[in-house]
Chains A and B, each alone.
Chain A
Amino acid sequence: MRHLLSAGDLDAAQATEILDIAANLAAVSGREIKKLPTLRGRTVVNLFYEDSTRTRISFEAAAKRLSADVINFSAKGSSVAKGESLKDTAWTLQAMGADAVVIRHPASGAPHRLAHWVDGSVLNAGDGTHEHPTQALLDAYTIRQRMGKIDGLRVSIVGDVLHSRVARSNVLLLQTLGAKVTLVGPPTLVPPSLGETNYDLDDVLPESDVVMMLRVQRERMNDSYFPSAREYSRRYGLDGARLRRMPEHAIVMHPGPMNRGMEITPEVADSPRSTIVEQVTNGVSVRMACLYLLLGGKL
């Protein structure tokens, strides 16, 4: 495989290989010298058309721990801000000899277009409301680490599924890995074609091994997706009372950044059942594994 554009590109064996390699690479992050020579002399470009400090530094750390040269290309203050097209930017990166381009872009499908215009590997680091495959991989990694497996688990993804690239990638990947995924939220925000849906959070909580909360933007209520932030939290927010209705072994995930008080209360976010900090840690290992496999040509 040359690119990682969609979580749906991975079959179960490929996804498992990424998680296994990530587990091996995680050991590096625990060392005093957190570096492997694997990608020495290779160039990884972080091409970010959206502000996303956490994803960018996660990819940057991953590439640097594998000794790659990292170029950060932010759309702000660059030729992109002056109106350069994605295709012209692609040619520039091509001319600089980029071996991999990590792209974050507000338009769905932009990484697919970019993949036509560069010879190097393209990693989708989030495109519009489409996908965010490395987020799904780090979520799968985190689930496997906490629960010991993924196959057969009941995963509820709660919130603004319609606009969530995290949800789309997770549905594809977790189903590939054998989980049973239920999408939960108000009908305005949960397209039924994406999978099994349930509009009642309290109904699914006792039946969930994993509850993944999605970020919900307050601005959505201006488009009448829901009446108010207060009503949203009342119906779909995860608070302590709801946490206690989940099975004892069940975990709570969130891709961040959180809207504390909106979709999740501080009590839940900071509880031992929450995996939010581990998700960030695991992100680096999983992204190392992706770069390693794509640039090593083994996947």
Chain B
Amino acid sequence: MKIYVRDGVIVSKGSEDRVIDTEGLVALPGLVDLHTHLREPGREDAETVLTGSRAAALGGYTAVCAMANTSPVADTAGVVEQVYRLGQEAGLVDVQPIGAVTVGLKGEHLAELGAMADSAARVRIFSDDGHCVHDPRLMRRALEYVKAFDGVIAQHAEEPRLTDGAQMHEGEVSDRLGLTGWPAVAEESIIARDVLLAAHVGARLHVCHVSTEGSVEIIRQAKAHGIRVTAEVTPHHLLLTHDLASSYDPVYKVNPPLRTSRDVEALREGLRDGTIDIVATDHAPHAVEDKECEWAYARPGMLGLETALSIVLDVFGEDWELITDRMSVRPAQIAGLAQHGRQLKKGEPANFTLIDPTARWTVEPQGLASLSHNTPYAGMKLPGRVVHTYLRGVPTVRDGRVEK
């Protein structure tokens, strides 16, 4: 099997300027991550747009959506354009900035959503991720307002009054460890409210990092009622459980927290049946000092870009149709990225990744391209390896090595 490319587009044999041999490899449209923390501007010691782009390309991604919780916050046209431009300069993946919903992520006043939408970054997804837009009136207005430019609010569903000081999933493990619990109902109550708000104003809602069985059920019902809601699940919530906190190693601290095996099962089922639309990494790099400390003082978050595909392969096996849909086609649709998540056929943009499904590799934190090392999969042997990734016909990863 060969793919013929010319001027960044897939062409028929004979008119190409580049031939890519896919012998023994699985070709997928480039993966699209709807939830990436690139940390630039502000925490360039943890990750930059360039290093995050490298990690993304190595993970098989051709597009990532950069979350707004940078410093300064991406709540103005200026900041989203800066991130957009940095992404173009890096040139390894398309970096699509996400704009903040509220000024400074403070949950008080709407940011200039229209200005961000009209900017060069053409922002369509807005999120206060890391914080919940918890004021119901503000959430309603945000959902309503972005209809003008077909925007979507990506909600970090966490009722803050129920998670004050929360450190991990509330359950028998948190009881035993003496760590303040983050109850499932804090997520579920916000999702239930938000799907009703979205229905009321006829808007689109996207739910970030769904983590509980109850959330899956609420979204399933909302979809059955025709409410325009989409949802994502992270690789770590598909695999890991709260028992890992027993080590008190903050590499397992993440928000929302790792939950029970029952939740993991429900999330897998939700992704299989389409209740959950996509896998998104919530790639969250953190500097060493923010993780090598007491659990309560550590920042929540885990790396994800370079391991996501392997984790999904590990959980679901070689279900390439599922992987293509949930990791490329659907996220591109939700984000409105027309050049991504397309079929690999003549006339389509040459954004794709080639995977060796038989390869197995061991995760070494120091071996990852990300500037940070906070992977929860250290030492794990995982299936599937990205061999080549192409962005508009140009290799960003060749033989497992990033091009710049």
Chain A residues near B (Cβ < 8 Å): 85-87, 105, 107-110, 112-113, 127-131, 165, 168, 191, 193-194
A110 touches B294 (CB 8 A): yes
A193-B172 CB under 8 A given contacts A128-B178, A130-B178 = yes
Task: Using A86-B293, A105-B294, A108-B248 as known contacts, list a sample of 17 further A-B pairs with CB atoms less than 8 Å apart, ordered by residue number in A.
Answer: A85-B293, A87-B292, A109-B177, A109-B248, A109-B294, A109-B295, A109-B296, A112-B248, A113-B294, A129-B178, A129-B180, A130-B178, A131-B178, A168-B176, A168-B178, A193-B175, A193-B176
CB-CB under 8 A for A113 and B176, given A87-B293, A107-B296, A107-B297: no
Asked if B171 contacts A193 (CB within 8 A), the reply is yes
Output the least CB separation between A188 and chain B (Å). 12
- Given the known interface contacts A131-B178, A193-B171, the answer about A108 and B292 at a Cβ–Cβ threshold of 8 Å is no
Chain B residues with CB below 8 A from A128, complex form: 178-179, 296
Cβ B175 vs Cβ A107 within 8 A:
no
The 3 A-B pairs at the shortest CB distance, nearest first, are namely: A109-B248, A130-B178, A193-B172
B293 lies within 8 A of A108 (CB): no
- Number of residue pairs A-B, CB distance < 8 angstroms: 56
B178–A108 CB distance below 8 A: yes
Q: List the B residue with the shortest CB-CB distance to A190.
A: B175
- In contact, B295 and A107 (Cβ under 8 angstroms): yes
Closest residue on chain B to residue A131 by CB atoms: B178
How far, in whole Å, are A197 and B294 apart by their CA atoms in the complex?
Answer: 31
When the two chains form their complex, are residues A127 and B178 in contact, meaning their CB atoms are under 8 A apart? yes
Which of A113, A129, A194 has a CB less than 8 Å from the CB of B248? Answer: A113
- Inter-chain CA distance A131–B175, complex, in Å, is 11
Flag if B293 contacts A113 (CB, 8 Å): yes
A109 proximity list for chain B (CB < 8 A): 177-179, 248, 294-296
Which residue of chain B lies nearest to A109 when distances are taken between CB atoms in the complex? B248
What's the least CB distance linking A160 to chain B, in Å? Answer: 12
Contacts of B293 in A (CB 8 A): 85-87, 113
Contact B292 A85 (CB under 8 A): yes
Chain A positions within 8 Å of B247 at CB level: 112
With a cutoff of 8 Å between Cβ atoms, the chain B residues found around residue A168 in the complex are 176, 178
Interface centre among A105, A127, A128 (most CB of B within 10 A): A128
Closest chain B residue, CB of each to CB of A195 = B175
C-alpha gap A62/B315 in the complex (Å): 53
- Residue among A109, A110, A194 with the highest chain B CB neighbour number at 10 A: A109
> In this assembly, does B135 line the interface, its C-beta being within 8 Å of a C-beta of chain A?
no
* B289 contacts A by Cβ under 8 Å: yes
| Interchain Cβ contacts under 8 Å between A and B, 13 examples | A109-B179, A109-B248, A109-B295, A113-B294, A127-B178, A129-B180, A130-B178, A130-B179, A165-B178, A168-B176, A193-B171, A194-B175, A194-B176
The answer for the CA separation of A195 and B27 in the assembled complex, in Å, is 53
Residues of A within 8 A of B292 (CB): 85, 87
